[in-house]
């Protein structure tokens, strides 16, 4: 039995590495073909192109690519064995197919844990570096539950952004002189951005300082509304991306800070639960793929089973997207949508596994 376990464990891991590597090469070629002019303009030379690919692939593809690779590896590992009558021989020897696939599921569970670590290290670092390169000189930092960034002689602090309504909450702006001394500060609970990228401060508090007299009290004004042309459209997109670049610990801190302000944190809690549950999809996808592979023993066709697998994956990502959209609509309980989707498809996989040929 140990020989059999090592055989399927090695087959699954070899297929996983091969498929993952081939997929990354394919994605890299597609990226080069679609964005060749942009890449060459912004990333001249071989080193620049490789840096672009090493940052973009983890940032945009890894979180979906690894679970899909697990599905394909588990399917081909079992399906190829079934088509070659190896599964039939195993059952003839008195070994249950359920026992046969235990090493595959154990390896998928280990990869799930490794994926969580990878998300918090490589993927997170690549995402932050990608955003930094896309917005040079405007690096966002997270401190004490809000986002800070520095542009020119102005420092911005924003607690929360809403991309759809172009609204900022908990905004503070600090204007300094060329010597770095504070000249004016603006504070407002709500700021709206118009189509010309001007910031409309509502119920703003304006403090004006005299840089030549640091100990003097500032002049304080209250304004019902004031307009300030401070940033371009890409700055709002940069701030919106901030929450996605936080670690799990920082994201939890961000949610607590927004909750203390009485704001709706549903979409951020959904983001947190999605980050926690996504690595588990590696194991769930392997569990979904195994029954499909076992059924190849009856029809001896990988193609028909593969089509069914593609449909199952399509349904999974559709359900996950729907859960995310419901959360965006303001339903707080939907923050647990990612777990519910995983649980539903795990149950579906369990039913198919129970009905698989023995």
Q: Of 252, 254, 280, 273, which is closest to residue 333 (Cα–Cα)?
A: 273
Q: For the range 140-145, what are the long-range contacts, defined as Cβ-Cβ under 8 Å and sequence gap of 24 or more?
A: 140/238, 140/239, 140/241, 140/242, 140/245, 142/242, 142/246, 142/250, 142/254, 144/257, 145/253, 145/254, 145/256, 145/257, 145/258
Tokens of 319: 């359900």
Is the CB of residue 340 less than 8 Å from the CB of residue 323?
yes
Phi, psi of 293 (to 5 degrees): -65, -40
Residue 334 half-sphere exposure toward CB, CA atoms < 13 A: 17
Alpha-carbon distances of 48 from 54, 127, 254, 350, rounded to whole Å: 10, 17, 34, 47
Taking alpha carbons only, the member of 304, 250, 290 closest to residue 272 is 250
Whole-angstrom distance, CA of residue 275 vs CA of residue 295: 33
pLDDT of res. 189: 87
- Region for 235 from its dihedrals, namely left if φ exceeds 0, alpha if ψ lies in -120 to 50, beta otherwise: alpha
The pLDDT of residue 237 is 47
pTM comes to 0.80
Please state, in angstroms and rounded to a whole number, the distance separating the CA atoms of residues 191 and 171: 7
The answer to whether the beta carbons of residues 146 and 170 sit under 8 Å apart is yes
Q: What is the pLDDT of residue 180?
A: 76
Which H helix or E strand runs over 160? strand 154-162
Q: How far is CA 182 from the centre of its chain?
A: 37
Token output for 346: 């795990």
HSE-CB for 122 with a 13 A CA cutoff: 14
Task: Mention every residue, 6+ apart, whose C-beta is less than 8 A from residue 307.
Answer: none
> For 218-255, how does the pLDDT look when each residue is reduced to its tens digit (9 = 90+)?
888 888 888 877 655 555 544 555 677 788 888 888 88
Q: Are 32 and 118 in contact (CB under 8 A)?
A: no
To the nearest 10°, the Cα dihedral for 77, 83, 87, 88?
Answer: 180
Segments of the chain scoring below 50 in pLDDT:
237-238
Query: Contact at 8 Å (CB) between 70 and 285?
Result: yes
The tokens for 154 are: 């102005």
Other beta carbons within 10 Å of 239 = 20
pLDDT value, residue 317: 92
* Residue 330, pLDDT score: 56
Query: What pLDDT is stored for residue 230 in this prediction?
Result: 61
Do 255 and 246 meet the contact criterion of CB atoms below 8 Å apart?
no
- In the chain, domain spans: 141-243
């Amino acid at each position: 039995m140990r020989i059999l376990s090592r055989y399927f464990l090695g087959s699954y891991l070899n297929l996983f590495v091969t498929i993952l590597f081939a997929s990354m090469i394919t994605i890299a070629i597609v990226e080069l073909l679609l964005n060749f002019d942009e890449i060459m303009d912004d990333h001249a030379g071989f080193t620049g192109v490789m840096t672009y690919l090493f940052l973009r692939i983890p940032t945009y593809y890894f979180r979906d690519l690894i679970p899909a690779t697990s599905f394909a590896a588990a399917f081909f590992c079992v399906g190829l064995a079934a088509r070659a009558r190896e599964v039939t021989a195993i059952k003839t020897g008195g070994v249950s197919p359920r026992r046969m696939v235990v090493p595959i599921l154990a390896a998928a569970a280990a990869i799930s844990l490794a994926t969580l670590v990878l998300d918090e290290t490589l993927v997170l670092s690549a995402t932050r570096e990608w955003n930094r390169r896309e917005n040079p000189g405007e690096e966002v930092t997270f401190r004490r539950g809000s986002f800070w960034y520095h542009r020119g002689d102005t420092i911005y602090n924003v607690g929360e952004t809403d991309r759809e309504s172009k609204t900022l909450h908990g905004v503070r702006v600090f204007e300094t002189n060329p010597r770095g001394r504070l000249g004016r500060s603006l504070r407002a609970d709500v700021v709206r951005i118009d189509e010309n990228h001007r910031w409309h401060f509502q119920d703003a508090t304006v403090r004006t300082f005299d840089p030549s007299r640091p100990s003097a009290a500032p002049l304080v004004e209250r304004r019902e509304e004031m307009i300030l042309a401070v940033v371009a459209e890409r700055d709002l997109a940069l701030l919106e991306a901030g929450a996605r670049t936080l670690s799990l610990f920082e994201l939890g801190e961000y949610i607590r800070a927004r909750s203390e302000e009485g704001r709706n944190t549903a979409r951020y809690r959904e983001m947190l639960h999605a980050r926690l549950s996504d690595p588990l999809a590696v194991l769930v996808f392997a569990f979904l793929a195994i029954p499909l592979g076992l059924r190849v023993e009856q029809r001896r066709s990988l193609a028909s089973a593969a089509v069914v697998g593609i449909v199952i994956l399509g349904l999974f990502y559709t359900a996950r997207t729907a859960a995310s959209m419901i959360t965006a609509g303001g339903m707080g309980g939907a923050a647990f949508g990612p777990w519910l989707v995983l649980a539903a498809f795990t149950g579906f996989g369990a039913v198919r596994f129970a009905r698989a040929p023995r």
